Each structure stands twice: as C-alpha cells, then as structure tokens.
Structure 1
C-alpha cells in the first residue's frame, strides 16, 4: 500500500507541475503549439506500451471509449491551458479538479449508492468553488472567462476519465493508444486551421498595402520554451503511468483521493514562482474545494 500511496502522490506532483508549465508557456507561446508539441511527446511515450501488449483492433468498446476520451481531453486541455494563461492559476486549477464529479455522477446514474462522505464532498466542492470564484467574477471579463474555461476543462476531463474507465475494462493499452491518437489527430487539425487563418490574415494585409510579418509564429520559440514543451509532455506521460500502476497496487479510493490533489501543486508553484496572491476568502474556498474533491473521490 505504501508503494501505491507514493505513486499516487507522484502522479499529483507530475500532473500539477505539467499544468503549471503548460499554463505558463501558453502566456508567451501560441496555445496550439504548446498543446500539439506536448501531446506528441505523450503519444510517443505511450506507444512504448506496444512492447508489452499489442493493439487490439477488435476491441470495439475500448476503441470507442478511447475516441470519446481523446476528444474530451483535447477540448479540456485547450480550455485548461488557456484558463491558466489568462486567469489566476490558484483559482482556475481547483475548478478544473471538479472533473471527479462526472464519473461519480455516472456511477450514481447507474445505481451506485450516495453515501454521507460523497454528499458532504459535493457540498464542500460546490461551496468552495463559489467562494473561490466570487472575487474572480467581479474582477472583469478576462477573469470570468478563465473560470468558465476551468469549468469546461473539468467537464472534459471528467468525461475523459469516465470513458477511460469503461474502455480499460476491455483493454488498457488499446484504450490509451486510441485516446492518444485521437488527441493528436484533433490537435493537428486545429494546428492546420490555425496556420491557415494566420497565413490568410497576412495575405489580406499585404493585398491592402499594410505590413505583414512573413513569420508564422508571432514570436520565435526559444530553445528553453521548446525544452519546456517536451518536459510538459514527459510529465503528463509520467503522471498517467504512475496513476495506472498505483491503481493496481492499492485501493482505488485512496489512489484517487491522493491523485486529485494535483491542483495543490499548481497553486503552490504559482505562488512561489509567479508570486501569485489570492484573497483569504478565495484561499478558504480553494481549500474547501480540494477537500470536497478528495471526499468525492473517496466516497465515489
């Protein structure tokens, strides 16, 4: 059990750090570049699973679940990284952690009992989110948008978790690889559309006699930023691996509670590295929300 606890905590540390890096990079580098670059790294690392187990093209449920999970993750990642880039990381990250509500709600719809711990967790999570979000909603449209993006990320990650659970019952490797391929495929389409829009805009400015930069990117990606994108992908892949192994070595409820603490890492990094400050009421709301998420994971 000690090994499972350590792995779950490692997953939280890796995922929280990757979210911080991704949000920070998205403040100075185009979001689609950060997303596609990091997910290509994730896909390359996950493909190593083929050395252990072959891809099962006949596993229909696993493939369907992987597609749903991948599409949801692509949307969630884009929303989360953008939200972290334009908003207060110490508030947006805990909002995204409410993703755990989706698979729990699915379980309740399928007949799972609602215990006292689960009910209390839901109340604390909702109350904490409202308390933490209140000042942000009054801070202007940009702050309010960051919270909305955090909510979209929570929904997307929640759907992804539920789909992964369904698909993994048939084949873990097939589900994960289909998931990764779907995420990368959608991001390539988004990147192509982004390139088209930028080139079309530059061509329009040239036709009207205005200056237009020949560069595709608004600013050159430095070697440091490129390395950070790779590190973000490695951290995400490591978090997925640590969580998967932890669930085979310990109780799922315990692993889920500890893995759901990843926003704490993002909040701490934002405070220490960026000097980000939140009001006392917001801090209390963040704590309540995280406690609620932990109770939901344990009670679900």
Structure 2
C-alpha cells in the first residue's frame, strides 16, 4: 500500500512539474528551462543525500543511474518542446504511454501481483490510453511534430522508470544524485552545441525553480516507492502524472476535456484503486 501511495504522490509532483515546464517552454526554449531547473534539483538532491547519509552506490548502480538521468532530460526536452508546439493535455497524455516499459520489465523480473492488482494495472493503462485518445481536430491542433516528440518522450520516461528501479537500493538518495548529475552533464553538453539564450525575465524564475523542486521530489518519491511495491504496479500509479497535467491544462489554460478523456481519467483512477485494494 505504501508503494502505491508514494507512486501516486510522485505522479502529482511530476504532473505539476511537467505543466510548469511546458508552460515556460512557450516563453523560452525548452533547453533553457532545463538548464535552470535541473541544477536546482541536483543541489536539493545532494543536500538531502548528505543529510540522510547512506552507503555510496556501486559502480554498476551509478552507471545505471547516470544513464537514466541522461535519458530523462532528453525525454523532458522533447516533452517540453512538444507542449510548446501543441495542446498541453494531448502531449501530456501521449507522454504517459511509456508506462508499459517498466510494467513489462517488472513482470519479466518476476513481479507477481495479485489478480485484482494485475487487473487494476490493465485498467489503469487503459485509462491512460483513453485520456490520450482525442477527436481528429484536437490531434491536428497538436500537430504531428508535437505528438511525435511526446511519443519519443514517453519512451524516455519509461526507460527512466526502469533505470531508477534498477539502481535504487534501500537508501535511494545517492541514486537520485547520480541521476541528476547525469542529467545536468547531458544538458551542459547539449548547451555547448546549441548555445541557447540564457536571458531570462526575472518573473519566470519562481516557476523555473519550482519545476526543479517538484521534479526532484517526484524522482525521490518514485525511487522510494519501488522499494515498497512491485515495479509493475508502482509504475502505473506514477504514470498518472498525465491526469494531473490534463486537469491543470483544463483549469489554468481552459483546454477542454472531451468525453473520452474525462472517462479515461476516471478509468485510470479506478485502476489505481484496484491496485491499492490488493495491497
């Protein structure tokens, strides 16, 4: 039960972070958003790890965590750019379709959820698919490019979930630090080639700082969740960040929820309830 609760908490934090990231990417470049927000997360993760203590990572776990961090910043770059180009709610839900990657990996590794939990995972994924399903005009509004970028981001997010689980031990604080360091290093390499403008209006800084804070909070909650629950189930709970982003887009940006999407949100929540009921 704790693993599912932490997975849901991580989805809420990711949902807020993604919404803010997509929103700011409409005003400055996605790379600039990441160059400001990700180092904030690295500093917070490092401070927490130093306070919490714990054993250092093995070379294997560090390599996996660094690779996962690199994968997720590339995914976030594609994700933010997609939201800058198209509908935030459409892009957010397509981005959640990477959840089958960690679910399948968990099952291959030996996860054996109870029958109601397995059914809940299927229902939860179905809900995410329903949320992503939109009438043709909405998809055209999002544009092929933004949907393609969102699909690429989904693969990166799924890979990150898998890597974070593989590298996280009983004390995952240093795993988060390694992942954030890998992400920041990747961004610095990208910045050396792209040379993005770092001229940022002061009014944008609070949102950019909040992105980093919510993102590292979500990463930490998910890493702990994988130590208290099956990856195949925790990943489904964590994937509900798309529903949070969709709701924020509805109430903040006024993006309308079509009936299939509204139904999808309720179906996804029902799936999580089934998973929790079997815990």
The two structures have a TM-score, normalised by structure 1, of 0.76
Could you give the per-residue CA deviations for residues 14-73 of structure 1, whole angstroms, max 9, x where no partner exists?
Answer: 22111110000001111100011110100111111123326736x122112112211211
Matches of 1:139 and 1:94, distance apart in 2: 12
Say how many residue pairs are matched: 276
The alignment yields a C-alpha RMSD, in angstroms, of 3.6
Identify if the C-alpha distance between structure 1 residues 224 and 295 changes in structure 2 by more than 3 Å, giving closer, same or farther.
farther
Query: Structure 1: any 5+ residue segments left out of the alignment?
Result: 199-215
Matches of 2:95 and 2:276, distance apart in 1: 14
1:31 alignment partner in structure 2? 30
The two structures have a TM-score, normalised by structure 2, of 0.81
1:60 alignment partner in structure 2? 59
Tell whether the 8 Å contact from 1:100 to 1:297 is kept in structure 2 after alignment.
no
1:77 alignment partner in structure 2? 76
2:255 to 259, 276, 279: 276
1:235 to 214, 222, 234: 214
2:87 alignment partner in structure 1? 88
Could you give the per-residue CA deviations for residues 55-113 of structure 1, whole angstroms, max 9, x where no partner exists?
Answer: 736x1221121122112112211122122222222222223223332112112333545
1:50 and 2:50 matched: yes
Q: How does 1:173-212 map to 2 (within 5 A)?
A: 173-195=173-195
Could you give the per-residue CA deviations for residues 243-279 of structure 1, whole angstroms, max 9, x where no partner exists?
Answer: 445666x655786555443222211111111111132
Tell whether the 8 Å contact from 1:118 to 1:298 is kept in structure 2 after alignment.
no
Matches of 1:106 and 1:3, distance apart in 2: 17
Q: After the TM superposition, which of the residue ranges 129-138 and 181-190 deviates more from structure 2? A: 129-138
How far off is 1:189 after superposition?
Answer: 1.1
Q: How does 1:1-300 map to 2 (within 5 A)?
A: 5=5, 9-48=8-47, 49-53=49-53, 56=56, 59-113=58-112, 116=115, 117-118=117-118, 121-122=121-122, 125=125, 129=129, 132-136=132-136, 139-140=139-140, 142-169=142-169, 172-195=172-195, 216=197, 220-244=199-223, 251=229, 258-288=237-267
Query: Structure 2: any 5+ residue segments left out of the alignment?
Result: none
How far off is 1:11 after superposition?
Answer: 3.0
Tell whether the 8 Å contact from 2:128 to 2:240 is kept in structure 1 after alignment.
no
**SS of aligned partner of 1:43:** helix
Identify if the C-alpha distance between structure 1 residues 263 and 78 changes in structure 2 by more than 3 Å, giving closer, same or farther.
same
How far off is 1:286 after superposition?
Answer: 5.0
Identify if the C-alpha distance between structure 1 residues 38 and 279 changes in structure 2 by more than 3 Å, giving closer, same or farther.
same
Matches of 1:161 and 1:155, distance apart in 2: 10
